[in-house]
Structure 1
């Protein structure tokens, strides 16, 4: 049975290809706009994000609005077959507003109000700022909500940051009152008896501060949750006047890769389509595998937020100007990295930016059109050729990714892990640990979802919990049901330690998972950087592991409570004690890894066997060369297999017994597919029937 999601916009039911466009920077030279239209068409671009930082051009002084330039841009787009994601300009406000209404400027954690400047230097709680945003967004909606060139609303830009002003302090207190109901409950949840920090009046409660309260972990955690909720509330405030005029125009806001400060999962329901900005640091080494795996994880994360195709809203066609080293994409990398996004579920490839700015902080950031101003450049040709490719992939629009494996990744767990103060304050490396486990699946070509605690796990065969430090009782119960029902679970050290308030679980770690994994974790130790131990498999273990694998940074002393020991520690007083176990529960299996194994070969063997035992679907049933991965999209009748070569050298993939054809050429694929450096091939086959 075929299954596809509808296109992002019925106006443009193909791959969207284009860039952020800032015509307001070039109004002094009308010829630039005329040339841009010619070049957009020449580059096979069909969509532009317009107006992202245009507040000063739209409202040069309070109450004086100038829409003529934007009328011309959108009308010209419409007559040339170009479409627009029209932005609300709240990402940076004009100087006149900061001067007249200083309350719109943020107050830092140090309680000092910022000066005008930067981006998102405004208070999301400020009544004045919210009023001004409503006025602007209402006028934009009324003027352009039915414009034929507009395919959707680009809300603000890369929401970020927090404010500690009096408005935000009061909003935080009100948020806490709703959550806890009473100071007694708040004090219990935050464990404020520590250091005698018990609150006796709501007015005493403030946001964490470097010169004030910052040692109450539950308070730190709730502040981060509040900032997410307040930012989401502001997003909803922004879209209300837009939806009132035309509820059918989709709204999105561009997110950032593995952004720390906001729990993006909370935004998913309020967004019509997820979009995000990807800026990999390609070519740091001979092989781009590390970078590719990191960004594959992010693609999968943003796809999983709504379990449907997403948008690559920003990427660079060449280089950035803000990374530590701004390196050019090598030949083939633009196509490879762009199609990596498509392989993981993106229905767009868009760039920052269309034309390089002449001045200010991003004047050297990569763009489709360089300062030279014409099309005779390597970058422009790369964009043009990719446009041709995307135009021929229309059958992929709306196709989902059928994942049977999932990794648990919660923002509040991430915040809590990094705030825990132990066992390794020199670097607990939570994010790196998640990617370490993800990469093993990525190298196997296993489609993988990145899920949260509130998601449904029943659709998966394999669930991975790397350092699930913050684990709610109800999540533990759900995971136990998953295993009893036949699922395969892989859990690591430093899991099941605290509840949702960052209070330690009593009764033994890993807390809610103790019965599920069949072990008790008695102690955990952080190792010095030069310390080493090793994982030594037990002879005849069910996974067929042999040899030994280096351990660094983290070791747990665990005791089996019914779990079978698969491997033991080699050295120190740990020697001979369990480090890898499996517990059979109901119809499923729960594995527990008690130490950080640094050897990638372990994860390859471990997950290779788990995938095989759990019969988890791979994109292609073959062994992939190092640095080459496979990713799958499917409509239920046809599978689309992407073979992506990040190895830095030529590679060859032996196909399985399915019949494949090349999507781009329409020709049958042989049994061996040769991939040049930075190459990608898209193959089509008949989908397997369950």
Structure 2
């Protein structure tokens, strides 16, 4: 199968979304001149061009795209050609209202924005397939074409009648009988038993709380329906160009897609990353998404979109300070990206995103943004021969599963303060601040390559996943689990004892008497041998087995003296979320005892060190210059300078060291 290397052809792909239909054709030549000067070697065309390509039903206007494809090829710029199906033209919704999605209150979502399509609509799928077929037939043999990009940021929910009909078919395949569905959904509660498939609907607005397993299955169904749309278009272009890779872009840590399952169907895993430049943890958010995407790709991946400057959808949209765009771009390369791209090439003058930055901003060629883009393009060209195709090997894995996220987010949970993504981020942050790089893994994956596996929170765990965790510890692995893990089975049925009995035995929990969630801003004091700390978000009334060790105990209150952190052998259980410094120190100590070491010892707090292949990336996330001790001789690929013992990284500085 083709992969990212098929498209890169020995280069780090550098460029972004190009929307020249927004500009007069005389601008195109100027764009090409600026692209070549900046080292741009790849553009994505056609993402939002459906109404331009098909202005009226069945008509095709390809002339402008023909000229663009030829122009790109003549100037040595490859094209990632998109199917335009994320934003149907107004005529489709006007003539075929069944193509429009319906929200949970029964209101139709109309055109005028984007993503206004029903994933379940047979009419939408027919028109989407037709335009995709024609694009594949016309451009499949064009020498500029390097990759296909299907749709864009799949994120549509739909509660329509047509979606309900497909939902019933999906449920019949999953459960087979109504009796099995009633059992899985626990419909004996609140008199919800179904006697006919026609009674089953999407979980629309209800008077009070909805059935949580129905909502869980609806989320699974939505991910599967969107995947069906992707696969239909992917298969069309794959038949025309089996030698070219196909992708669609994920959004960072978005709850609507089971990205593990989706990644298996992509030749290239790509993602859009937009950390807030004012967020002091923006670099950590970027690192989390990069680690997750690399793990889904199981190798090099594509940064499909990032902002060269400000975005337009935050309450206040701040620009990136000088040097930050370069820093975050090279952070992605350090963590496995073989493609660094932006939304978009030239900043729009009209439309909803005219204040969203471009590689060429409103300031034009002389603007700081474009000048920094030129520097980045030159540096990526320098790095390409050394980094392309190389891998990052890590000793720590973080477990994450969308099904557990969906199930744990139900309305009737014990605490609205506990958010799966926030907890996951807290644990990743602790590792990141301890200078420990980590992969992400699905609970069903092979965990044996890792010395330490951490489970921030997996409310829902299948029997298979639990068996894998048990086997991992038996085989010598170190497991660290957070609270609310293993609480429910795949149907969101609470396991007897409040946690799976096998996990309780693994962690040394005799009885989990009660959950004690904490209010916003509330904390609980904990004491331990290395020093006390505060627990946040959650606490639990636990009775330990005789062979378990209480590594930290609650101090004061109802839980005084009870275990806050419990260990049995190499299995650790945290019944609270320690404050950031305490979680960092705990995970660093556990990792050290398991034989895990940072890429470089003695790093300043704001410096990130990442191995990619034989190279060591050093990234300074501070506005202040820092000095880093680097034992042994080294050469910085970005500057060509050699040295021993130490080097200085300036504000937002980066060094890529070859030893």
- Equivalent positions of 1:496-511 (< 5 A) are 496-511=486-501
SS of residue in 1 equivalent to 2:317: coil
Q: 1:13 aligns with which of 10, 20, 32?
A: 10
Aligned residue number for residue 639 of structure 2: 665
Q: 1:593 aligns with which of 557, 562, 574?
A: 574
Matched, 1:654 2:629: yes
Matched, 1:553 2:537: yes
Q: 1:241 aligns with which of 236, 241, 251?
A: 236
Q: 1:313 aligns with which of 300, 304, 311?
A: 304
Measure, in 2, the Cα distance between the counterparts of 1:474 and 1:213: 34
Residue 548 (structure 1) shift? 0.8
Matched, 1:569 2:558: no
Aligned residue number for residue 605 of structure 1: 585
Does the 8 Å CA contact 1:626/1:647 hold for their aligned counterparts? no
Matched, 1:631 2:604: no
What do the CA deviations read for 1:589-611 (whole angstroms, capped 9, x no partner)? 0011111222x221222112111
Aligned residue number for residue 110 of structure 1: 105
Does the 8 Å CA contact 1:433/1:466 hold for their aligned counterparts? yes
Measure, in 1, the Cα distance between the counterparts of 2:249 and 2:501: 37
Residue 670 (structure 1) shift? 2.4
Measure, in 1, the Cα distance between the counterparts of 2:45 and 2:557: 61
Q: Decide whether aligned partners of structure 1 residues 234 and 530 sit closer, same or farther in structure 2, where only a CA change above 3 A counts.
A: closer
Does the 8 Å CA contact 1:183/1:199 hold for their aligned counterparts? yes
Measure, in 2, the Cα distance between the counterparts of 1:601 and 1:120: 41
Residue 222 (structure 1) shift? 0.4
Q: 2:616 aligns with which of 641, 647, 660?
A: 641
Measure, in 2, the Cα distance between the counterparts of 1:78 and 1:467: 49
Residue 579 (structure 1) shift? 1.2
Measure, in 2, the Cα distance between the counterparts of 1:149 and 1:368: 21
What do the CA deviations read for 1:198-226 (whole angstroms, capped 9, x no partner)? 11111111111123685211111000000
SS of residue in 2 equivalent to 1:76: helix
Matched, 1:219 2:199: no
Aligned residue number for residue 254 of structure 1: 249
SS of residue in 2 equivalent to 1:9: helix
Measure, in 2, the Cα distance between the counterparts of 1:531 and 1:135: 56
What do the CA deviations read for 1:451-496 (whole angstroms, capped 9, x no partner)? 1122111111100011221111211111010001010000112111
Paired residues, number: 655
Residue 527 (structure 1) shift? 1.8
Matched, 1:378 2:368: yes
Does the 8 Å CA contact 2:4/2:267 hold for their aligned counterparts? no
TM-score (norm 2): 0.97
Aligned residue number for residue 352 of structure 1: 343
Matched, 1:446 2:431: no
Measure, in 2, the Cα distance between the counterparts of 1:617 and 1:100: 61
Residue 577 (structure 1) shift? 1.5
SS of residue in 1 equivalent to 2:5: coil
Measure, in 2, the Cα distance between the counterparts of 1:296 and 1:193: 45
What do the CA deviations read for 1:179-202 (whole angstroms, capped 9, x no partner)? 111111111111111111111111
Measure, in 2, the Cα distance between the counterparts of 1:560 and 1:262: 38
Q: 2:655 aligns with which of 681, 685, 690?
A: 681
Aligned residue number for residue 210 of structure 1: 205
Measure, in 2, the Cα distance between the counterparts of 1:114 and 1:313: 27
Measure, in 2, the Cα distance between the counterparts of 1:123 and 1:86: 23
Aligned residue number for residue 22 of structure 2: 25
What do the CA deviations read for 1:101-129 (whole angstroms, capped 9, x no partner)? 11111122122322222211111121211
- Equivalent positions of 1:457-496 (< 5 A) are 457-496=447-486
Aligned residue number for residue 39 of structure 1: 34
Range with bigger deviation, 516-525 or 401-410: 516-525
Measure, in 1, the Cα distance between the counterparts of 2:322 and 2:519: 42
Q: 1:581 aligns with which of 566, 586, 606?
A: 566
**Structure 2 spans left out of the alignment, 5+ residues:** none
Measure, in 1, the Cα distance between the counterparts of 2:649 and 2:100: 53
Measure, in 2, the Cα distance between the counterparts of 1:661 and 1:512: 51
What do the CA deviations read for 1:38-73 (whole angstroms, capped 9, x no partner)? 111111111100010111111111121111111110
Q: 2:519 aligns with which of 525, 528, 540?
A: 528
SS of residue in 2 equivalent to 1:302: helix
SS of residue in 2 equivalent to 1:381: helix
Does the 8 Å CA contact 1:75/1:149 hold for their aligned counterparts? yes
Does the 8 Å CA contact 2:460/2:486 hold for their aligned counterparts? yes
Residue 512 (structure 1) shift? 3.9
Measure, in 2, the Cα distance between the counterparts of 1:548 and 1:567: 8
**Structure 1 spans left out of the alignment, 5+ residues:** 539-544, 686-690
SS of residue in 1 equivalent to 2:612: strand
Measure, in 1, the Cα distance between the counterparts of 2:307 and 2:389: 24
Measure, in 2, the Cα distance between the counterparts of 1:17 and 1:614: 39
Does the 8 Å CA contact 1:629/1:643 hold for their aligned counterparts? yes
Matched, 1:322 2:313: yes
SS of residue in 2 equivalent to 1:164: coil
Residue 528 (structure 1) shift? 2.4
Measure, in 2, the Cα distance between the counterparts of 1:531 and 1:21: 49
Measure, in 1, the Cα distance between the counterparts of 2:3 and 2:123: 39
Residue 19 (structure 1) shift? 1.3
Aligned residue number for residue 280 of structure 1: 275
Does the 8 Å CA contact 1:661/1:683 hold for their aligned counterparts? yes
Measure, in 2, the Cα distance between the counterparts of 1:153 and 1:340: 25
SS of residue in 1 equivalent to 2:30: helix
SS of residue in 2 equivalent to 1:325: coil
What do the CA deviations read for 1:408-444 (whole angstroms, capped 9, x no partner)? 111111112221623222x113222211111121123
Measure, in 1, the Cα distance between the counterparts of 2:7 and 2:302: 15
- Equivalent positions of 1:20-169 (< 5 A) are 20-26=17-23, 29-169=24-164
Measure, in 2, the Cα distance between the counterparts of 1:210 and 1:93: 27
Measure, in 2, the Cα distance between the counterparts of 1:340 and 1:369: 22
- Equivalent positions of 1:315-464 (< 5 A) are 315-372=306-363, 374-394=364-384, 395-419=386-410, 421-425=412-416, 427-464=417-454
Residue 338 (structure 1) shift? 0.5
What do the CA deviations read for 1:123-172 (whole angstroms, capped 9, x no partner)? 11212111111111111111111211111001111111211222211111
Residue 521 (structure 1) shift? 2.3
Measure, in 2, the Cα distance between the counterparts of 1:124 and 1:75: 33
Aligned residue number for residue 688 of structure 1: none
Residue 672 (structure 1) shift? 1.7
Matched, 1:615 2:595: yes
